[in-house]
Amino acid sequence: MHIMTVCLGNICRSPAAESVLVHRLEQAGLDEVMVSSAGTADYHIGRPPHEHSVSEGEGRGYAFTSRAAQFAADHFGDADLILAMDSSNEADILALAQRAEDEAKVVRLGAFASDAGEEVRDIPDPWGLPREAYVRMYDQIEDAVDGLVSAIQDGTVEEVVAAQRALR
């Protein structure tokens, strides 16, 4: 399985989600799951994650290896699950979908949060905000990633994705 996390510029939320997910998957012994990240815009291609994302993440025990990349239509063929950080990112990704199978892979990460329901909370973009925004971002990402890892373990990922797709 290949999971891709996607935000706007691929320097704050999606590399943070990628790092948290890699760490939690390793802890769970789910070695067969690959994780990558991208952004819907081309603002930061090739750049490392934002310094606040890295410092907060490293303080929580996460490692960062990726550089910013832009999401493209061919990523639908590479990824089995595409996790958007907010509704705007989700709309941008879906605009690139060429088939129903592509659309079926897209869901917001917040769909896996402990408080998810019919109203999925977005993970707000902390770019340009004080460090506290990055702390809140990680708190939300960790909660949602824990739900995602549980869904992978109990085989309910498709159920969650289908339920959210029905609400679109």
Active site amino acids? 7, 13, 125
Contact 64, 25 (CB under 8 A): no
- Region of 146 please: left (phi>0), alpha (psi -120 to 50) or beta: alpha
Spatial separation of the C-alpha atoms in residues 90 and 108, rounded to whole Å? 7
CB atoms inside a 10 Å sphere around CB 151: 17
Instruction: Measure CA 51 to chain center.
Output: 18
